[in-house]
Structure 1
Amino acid sequence: MQRDRDSPPDSIAKGIMSTLVPSPRRHHPGLLLSLLAGAQFLVVLNTSIVNVALPVIGQDLDLSPAGLAWTVNAYLIAFGALLPLGGRLADLLGHRTAFLSGLLVFAAGSLAAGIPSGAGPLITARAIQGIGAALLSPAGLAILLAHRPPGPSRGRALGIWGAASAAGGAAGVLLGGMLTSTLGWWAVFAVSALAALPCLVATPLLLGRGERKRTARLDVPGALTVTAGLTLLVYGLGADGATPLPDFVLPAAALVLLSALMPIERRVRNPLLPPALLRNRSLVTGNLLMLLLGAVWVATFFFLPLYQQKVLGYSPLEAGLTQLPLAAALMSASWGAGRLSKTLLPGLLVLAAGLLWLARLPVGGAFLADLLGPSVLIGTGLGLAFVPLTALGVAEAEPRHAGIAGGLINTSRQVGGALGLAVLSPLAAPATPGLAALAHGYRRALVAAALIALVAAAASAVHLLSGRSGVAEPLPGRS
């Protein structure tokens, strides 16, 4: 007679182990969500935390203006360009494996960046941070989707994840200023390395040993094409005369590469971007709208601090502190959007109204009279729109494509930000010297950003009238 698979002592041992390391699906959904939200907070935090420290870094390491710019761009370009590849690797390797690997790479890059050693090592370390973030972010979103079934629970989880993203972006300027003023610029990077440690410890405990994946060959031609195309696009849009080439050359080359992607994908066995995925109407709509929202989002956080410092005379730390109401509204709205339905269109309309109100910027503006009200409206609109757009972009993706869907929606936001700055920055440039001309330039840029938000609102209204909900329900996955 064959012995039972689990003898009584084995059953007791397994029971003890399940108590010590319980399944996140049944026992610790809150802890798992905290882990995923914390990792996303770190990823977004590092897009802005270094900005305030740049003058001190330049002085200590004797960096040129180009070196300082690359201290920021190395992270942003690596992160934005590698997101699709990171999402696809997460689907091929397993989301838990990709998440843990991304954490390790991100922590190593953060630790290396905090060691004063010169321009080359610092820029390299920032690029390593971006590589880790490009693997970590889509894998984390895919894990969230896998552990939260469609419905109110997933909506609440996406709301918290979106609030963490908002908190990371808002905390960067404030935390960077505080750390640089008290401990030194190295602490800006060391804090990310230290914060990654508890995430590294918690990941194996909360996610177990991870799922086994069948070995699949990576689509190397597609990976090289999309990564090179996005790198040229993001860098080219932000180069602003930093290369001897005309400004249009790099974006044009990027478009040529990206247009060649689909013919390549139709010829490979395991495409990086499965053509069927790009026929998903909700995914395409979500990414196009996220492109527009990303343009407005980045432009707002770019032009508002400049107005505060160059026109109103705020210090960097004062500019960061006065953006706290915007950040609080953004976080609250993101959290609330996960508990409500169809907040996309109202959010975009509120965002446009806040930008138009802010565009009244006077030269001698006061915080309470001219900044507080529109800041709260803008933060509310961004939060109400960001969460349903994220959900729309990933809702109909099959589980085996969750990583690449998460990578695409994050890529759209990054590329949208680069596009927004490329289009709106010339509008903000003053035609004549003086504070009045400078304020007028910022007004033009903010009005244009409001128009972009209204275009997104009109597109979302068409999407809703066509019979789709603000957050699409997923299609049944195919094995």
Structure 2
Amino acid sequence: MTTSSTPSATLRDEADPPGSAQSGPSRPGITLAIIAVCQLMIILDATIVNVALPDIQKDLEFSGSTLSWVLNAYALTFGGLLLLGGRFGDILGRRKVFVAGVLLFTVASLIGGITPNGGLLLVARALQGVGAALAAPGTLALIATNFAEGPARTKAMGVYGGVTGSGAALGLILGGVLTDAASWRWVFFVNIPFGLAIALLSPRFVRESERHPGRFDLLGALTSTGGMALLVYAFINAASEGWSDGVTLACFAGAIVLLGAFLLIETRAAQPILPLRLFRNRDRAILLGAMLFLSGNLTGMFFFLTQFVQEVLKFSPIKAGFGFVPVAFSLIAAAGVVMKQLPKVGVKPFMLTGSILATGGMVWLAQLDAGSSYVGGLLGPMLLIGVGAGFFTVPLTIVAVAGVEAEDAGAASSLLNVATQVGGALGLAILVTVFSSSAKDELANPPAGLAPADLPAHLLAVGSANAFWVGSALALVSVVAVVFARPKDVPTDAASIMAAVG
């Protein structure tokens, strides 16, 4: 659920250009507002659409499985192109790429708001992801460019961190308010005035960063993103057409070819988008893999429960939005505990506790049925998962950048965001496949005596519960991964923690 944009390691390596951050921006309040609002837009867009999903499904006639692409189209392009977006900023200038990304994001939001059909909405969501991948790496780096190290930068980082931490919860609330008061289309239209203001004001109030010569690894970005998109589509197509379907098999084969090509390209590229040497650190590789599973579960939880509370519990969109706020605030509270106690407790105990709590929350959600209530059936497991995610992600942010050479620091810390986005898309695809297969089987053999009017709620509950059982198994893999990880040389002093998590 969290989408912290760019690595703080990049911030530490960013040199203050002469006459720039050292002297400070002429209007620091406006400069910080521009950067913070952009970060907020990117964070909001990861959750603001969730509450609107049932209305989008009805208006644009999405099926249960294809609806997940409203989330996945954004996550795949954002996560898949994030490293390339950072490289663009390094070479072309971060402000220039930042503005280009914001403009693309804004145009895509307009298209999403006026779209007459589901296909065009998915295109708009993919373009939003591309825009976010270009803009996100600049948000944190431009703070370093525009604010001198010391109190000014510390204050700016505090605002940035507050926006990042609260953005997911604000997205859920705002999505509910806009959908309830106007229409789901306003979850896209709301980005337009802010995007235009950022694009117009940035050249005047945000200083450009120093450029660094380099090469673009376009083939690496395209093969990795294309391979993951085919893999996700293969799972979703299998839910509706079967595992032996020709399209399903072709997509799996294409994903293997493209992802294999990506690995080959990265071993030979002069400046790879993803330096494979980062995975020589066994513990970093294991724990990033664990993050793939946990982020998929978190995305799946929001996807299914958003529909459950509105279709089964009959929550209004705004009530549904507020209904998920406890998850966001429990995650934020848990992250705060980690920040304070990590120097005493260490990395592994928090990560192990977090993964166990998240797994327990998924097992609890797997007990869901059409008679479950919000307080009795949903609130408890959501709080467990929120606390678990907070305990897990903050230490992982530190592990991701620990011991990395300066030239790889940006890629290493961006890798966590990539794992979150791509893991969310892939995990959701797997859970949607389970959901669709379970609902299809239940529809063929409904319980005796079930009234036709109660069938949709029953199918949604049964499919979601089975998806959560599979999610529990995936979460358990993350627990095993943490058990076998032995992170060493990880700084746990307060200063290093603050630097790592931004």
Rounded to whole Å, the distance in 1 between the matches of 2:164 and 2:40 is 5
Rounded to whole Å, the distance in 2 between the matches of 1:145 and 1:337 is 25
Which residue pairs with 2:6 in the alignment?
Answer: none
Closer, same or farther in 2 for the Cα pair 1:118/1:294, shift >3 Å? closer
How far is the alpha carbon of 1:297 from its aligned partner? 1.2
Which residue pairs with 1:291 in the alignment?
Answer: 292
Q: Deviations over 1:331-386 (max 9, x none)?
A: 33234434441332222222223333333435433333333333222211112222
How far is the alpha carbon of 1:229 from its aligned partner? 1.7
1:359 touches 1:447 (CA, 8 Å); kept in 2? yes
Rounded to whole Å, the distance in 2 between the matches of 1:20 and 1:418 is 39
Closer, same or farther in 2 for the Cα pair 1:146/1:20, shift >3 Å? closer
Does 1:411 find its partner at 2:418? yes
Alignment match of 1:21 (pick from 26, 49, 53): 26
So what's the TM-score if we normalise by structure 2? Answer: 0.73
Rounded to whole Å, the distance in 2 between the matches of 1:283 and 1:468 is 12
Which residue pairs with 1:83 in the alignment?
Answer: 82
Which residue pairs with 1:5 in the alignment?
Answer: none
Which residue pairs with 1:375 in the alignment?
Answer: 382
Which residue pairs with 1:448 in the alignment?
Answer: 470
Alignment RMSD: 4.3
Does 1:462 find its partner at 2:484? yes
Specify which structure has the bigger relative contact order, considering alpha-carbon pairs within 8 angstroms and separated by 6 or more residues: 2
How far is the alpha carbon of 1:389 from its aligned partner? 2.1
Rounded to whole Å, the distance in 2 between the matches of 1:134 and 1:44 is 12
Which residue pairs with 1:98 in the alignment?
Answer: 97
How far is the alpha carbon of 1:135 from its aligned partner? 1.7
Does 1:425 find its partner at 2:432? yes
Helix, strand or coil at the partner of 1:306 = helix
Rounded to whole Å, the distance in 2 between the matches of 1:278 and 1:338 is 26
Which residue pairs with 1:267 in the alignment?
Answer: 268
Rounded to whole Å, the distance in 2 between the matches of 1:468 and 1:124 is 44
The more displaced of 304-313 and 433-442 is: 433-442
Closer, same or farther in 2 for the Cα pair 1:442/1:107, shift >3 Å? closer
- Percent identity reads 38
Closer, same or farther in 2 for the Cα pair 1:421/1:231, shift >3 Å? closer
Rounded to whole Å, the distance in 2 between the matches of 1:20 and 1:410 is 29
Which residue pairs with 2:3 in the alignment?
Answer: none
How far is the alpha carbon of 1:291 from its aligned partner? 0.8
Q: Deviations over 1:425-455 (max 9, x none)?
A: 3544244335667545433433432343333
The more displaced of 120-129 and 130-139 is: 120-129
How far is the alpha carbon of 1:131 from its aligned partner? 0.9
The more displaced of 131-140 and 301-310 is: 301-310
Q: Deviations over 1:11-68 (max 9, x none)?
A: xxx89x946628x8xxx8x985x765643432232234335546766787x7776997
Closer, same or farther in 2 for the Cα pair 1:314/1:59, shift >3 Å? closer
Closer, same or farther in 2 for the Cα pair 1:123/1:454, shift >3 Å? closer
Closer, same or farther in 2 for the Cα pair 1:310/1:280, shift >3 Å? same
Closer, same or farther in 2 for the Cα pair 1:69/1:469, shift >3 Å? closer
The more displaced of 162-171 and 336-345 is: 162-171
1:239 touches 1:247 (CA, 8 Å); kept in 2? yes
How far is the alpha carbon of 1:132 from its aligned partner? 0.8
2:284 touches 2:399 (CA, 8 Å); kept in 1? yes
One-letter amino acid of the structure 1 residue matched with residue 483 of structure 2: A
Does 1:388 find its partner at 2:395? yes
Which residue pairs with 1:330 in the alignment?
Answer: 331
2:291 touches 2:420 (CA, 8 Å); kept in 1? yes
Which residue pairs with 1:237 in the alignment?
Answer: 235
Which residue pairs with 2:191 in the alignment?
Answer: 192
Rounded to whole Å, the distance in 2 between the matches of 1:284 and 1:295 is 17
Rounded to whole Å, the distance in 1 between the matches of 2:154 and 2:236 is 34
Helix, strand or coil at the partner of 2:368 = coil
Helix, strand or coil at the partner of 1:260 = helix
Q: Deviations over 1:250-292 (max 9, x none)?
A: 1332122212223323333222223333434454244212212
One-letter amino acid of the structure 2 residue matched with residue 209 of structure 1: E
Rounded to whole Å, the distance in 2 between the matches of 1:263 and 1:336 is 42
One-letter amino acid of the structure 1 residue matched with residue 268 of structure 2: R
Helix, strand or coil at the partner of 2:89 = helix
Rounded to whole Å, the distance in 2 between the matches of 1:461 and 1:160 is 35
Rounded to whole Å, the distance in 1 between the matches of 2:205 and 2:403 is 26
How far is the alpha carbon of 1:323 from its aligned partner? 1.5
Q: Deviations over 1:89-118 (max 9, x none)?
A: 334334444334322322332244444676
Gap runs ≥5 in structure 2: 1-18, 447-454, 498-502
How far is the alpha carbon of 1:322 from its aligned partner? 1.6
Which residue pairs with 2:357 in the alignment?
Answer: 350
Which residue pairs with 1:218 in the alignment?
Answer: 216
Q: How many residues align?
A: 449
1:163 touches 1:332 (CA, 8 Å); kept in 2? no
One-letter amino acid of the structure 2 residue matched with residue 417 of structure 1: G
Closer, same or farther in 2 for the Cα pair 1:409/1:161, shift >3 Å? farther
Rounded to whole Å, the distance in 2 between the matches of 1:365 and 1:117 is 35
Summarize the alignment of residues 140-151 of structure 1 with structure 2, pairs less than 5 Å apart: 140=139
The more displaced of 117-126 and 327-336 is: 117-126
1:159 touches 1:335 (CA, 8 Å); kept in 2? no
Rounded to whole Å, the distance in 2 between the matches of 1:242 and 1:145 is 49
The more displaced of 392-401 and 382-391 is: 392-401
One-letter amino acid of the structure 2 residue matched with residue 218 of structure 1: F
Helix, strand or coil at the partner of 1:388 = helix
Closer, same or farther in 2 for the Cα pair 1:276/1:36, shift >3 Å? farther
Rounded to whole Å, the distance in 2 between the matches of 1:162 and 1:20 is 20
1:294 touches 1:414 (CA, 8 Å); kept in 2? yes
Rounded to whole Å, the distance in 1 between the matches of 2:191 and 2:320 is 23
Rounded to whole Å, the distance in 2 between the matches of 1:238 and 1:373 is 30
Rounded to whole Å, the distance in 2 between the matches of 1:236 and 1:172 is 30
One-letter amino acid of the structure 1 residue matched with residue 477 of structure 2: V
Closer, same or farther in 2 for the Cα pair 1:279/1:68, shift >3 Å? closer
Rounded to whole Å, the distance in 1 between the matches of 2:303 and 2:62 is 22
Rounded to whole Å, the distance in 2 between the matches of 1:337 and 1:119 is 41
Helix, strand or coil at the partner of 2:248 = coil
